[in-house]
Amino acid sequence: MGSDERGTKKKSKLREYVEIVVTAVVLALIVRALIIQSYHIPSESMEDTLLKGDFLFANKFLYGAKVPFVDWRLPKIRDPKPGDVVIFKFPGDRKTDYIKRCIAVEGQTVELKGKSLFIDGKEKPESHAKYIYGDVPRRDFGPYLVPKGHILVFGDNRDNSYDSRYWGPLDKKLLRGKALFLYFSLDYKKHWVRFSRIGDLIR
């Protein structure tokens, strides 16, 4: 075998490796941009559903993923519904990722009296809601009619959450996905992995 043939084979092999790597990177970017993405929980606003130090995957195509670099979205599978834990861009800067629970959708009337939530005038039990300050007096919210094209989102940790009660309804165009499951969890105080939470579905 001549040196030219060996050189050609090396170039061919190198080109094959480069194509594999480039293809893998492109597919990974497409998956991240349009299908699934990881998020980190930096605060206590969703306790006890989500803890500070949790890492989760979110379904981005369910509500219609936003296509990078252009102002349009892929077709949605469905709209968000009450109870969904959603990731979105904070309306205040449209950059920071927030995660809260969808409480109501457009056309529904919401009222929060103390610890009691009312949707369209009917009290709705909440097993996930947490009130860390006991029975102290709280500012009531509503009645509030959710406008078209928007949803209302609250944190599960009601006494420690900056949410729709303070900055208003969330434009559905700012939605980024629905939380799916935890793939990792780190207890920052104990500096240890919360192994029991890994793989938990987010409800």
Q: Which CATH architecture has domain 35-197?
A: Ribbon (2.10)
13 is catalytic: no
Question: With 0-12 CB in 10 A as exposed, 13-18 as middle and 19+ as buried, what is 154?
Answer: buried
pTM of the complete model: 0.82
Contact 154, 163 (CB under 8 A): yes
Average pLDDT for 62-74: 75
Of 45, 161, 164, 185, the catalytic one is 45
Task: Determine what percent of the chain is predicted with pLDDT higher than 70.
Answer: 82
95 is catalytic: no
Of 66, 89, 100, 130, the catalytic one is 100
Average pLDDT for 41-52: 96
Q: Where do the structural domains in the chain lie, given as residue ranges?
A: 35-197
* Choice between 5 and 58, residue whose per-residue pLDDT is larger: 58
